A and B are shown apart, each in its own frame.
Chain A
Amino acid sequence: MSGTPVSSGAEAGTPVFESSLTDFFQLMKPRVMSLVIFTALVGMVAAPGNLHPVLGAIALLAIAVGAGASGALNMWYEADIDAVMQRTAARPIPRGRVTEDEALSFGVILSVASVLTLGVLVNWVAGSLLALTIAFYVFVYTMWLKRRTPHNIVIGGAAGAFPPMVGWAAVTGSVSIESIVLFLIIFTWTPPHFWALALYRNRDYQRAGIPMLPVVAGDVETRKQILFYSVLMVATAAVPIFIGLGGLAYAVTSSVLGVVFLWFAFRVWSIREGRDSDKAAKQLFLFSIFYLFVLFAVLMAEHAIAAFLT
């Protein structure tokens, strides 16, 4: 890992120090961070019990910073493959705006600070889960699985599924069946979401040498797996109805959106060639984001309204 500043200026060989706070913010993967904040908030609102709003805000901030820290560490480790992928070539390290050493220090400091803050100020179950989330994303997904196996995002997806559990633990100080179900919904949502993206970004992943499922097993197998995991996800998303975590609004939303999700997944499975094939994959990818957002928003609204009325 080079610690020398990368020159991106006009004078070749002259170190240029151009990074700004915006570049460091970009290192934290703000879009991923926003999804983490949202799912963690759902976990906090759905959890039984009370947490002082100030402590709740601190918990959310710590979870967001922890997610951002793991994003920075991911970018530090993957700088070489980010540089050759169209989707990631504009990130701060490949563009030479932040050095790898800077990203590493930034990620480590924020990881430690976020875990300590959550542990000391809220509770250590939540703090430990946040530490596990960061460690899982960095060591298990980024360093171990991503470049080695097409199952990278299946197992690695756990890292993205932890935030509602962390949010839940921030309120209750424990892990329960309900929070595990929230985890499982995101866990089973991740494969169809990412494989849909990988289908139409196949060349990008091939060029970077990442063994995503379409690269290793081919399109047909990927489409089959997308359909399989979509069925599994829709079934998992129905569980809250039966354990009392979701109410009527959730039941209706989960059922309707689940059918639509399966329809998009079926289209990806059945349309295998031509432009329409890429279009179907893109539609599933975009719908999967909408699906998760609405599903969790409804769950949160139900619990927020119930808390307001009691």
Chain B
Amino acid sequence: MTTIGTVMTGEDKSEEQRAQKQRTRSIGIALGLALLVVLFYVATLVRLGPDVLNRPI
């Protein structure tokens, strides 16, 4: 990151905003995928019913 003293240049600000936006988006995508995984997991348990764990070892 290039700074002149403590003052950030316009390019730095833009780069920082870009990084922040990408970070927010990555978190959004991660949360979306996590939600999808949870949905599929829960729906599978519901569809299989309460006997899902009741099987011979």
Residue positions of A touching B, CB distance < 8 A: 11, 14-21, 24, 52, 54-55, 58, 61, 113, 117, 120-121
Contacts and interface: CB of A to CB of B under 8 A. Distances in A.
Given A11-B10, A58-B39, A117-B39, A20 B46 contact: no
A52 B46 contact: yes
Contact of B17 (A17, A52, A55, A113): A17
Contacts of A54: 42-43, 46
A58 B24 contact: no
A18 B21 CA distance: 7
Contacts of B22: 17
Contacts of B42: 54, 58
B21 A58 contact: no
B24 A21 contact: yes
B1 to A, nearest CB: 16
Contacts of A58: 39, 42-43
A223 to B, nearest CB: 46
A65 to B, nearest CB: 10
A99 B20 CA distance: 16
Interface of B: 10-11, 14, 17-18, 20-22, 24, 28, 32, 36, 39-40, 42-43, 46-47
A121 B43 CA distance: 6
A61 B35 CA distance: 11
Complex A-B, nearest 10 residue pairs according to Cβ-Cβ distance, in ascending order: A17-B21, A121-B43, A17-B18, A17-B17, A54-B46, A52-B46, A11-B10, A14-B14, A14-B10, A58-B43
A9 B21 CA distance: 15
B43 to A, nearest CB: 4
Contact of B36 (A17, A24, A52, A113): A113
Contact of B40 (A18, A20, A61, A121): A121
B40 A16 contact: no
Given A11-B10, A17-B21, A117 B28 contact: no
Contacts of A117: 36, 39-40
Given A19-B21, A117-B36, A55 B43 contact: yes
Contacts of B36: 113, 117
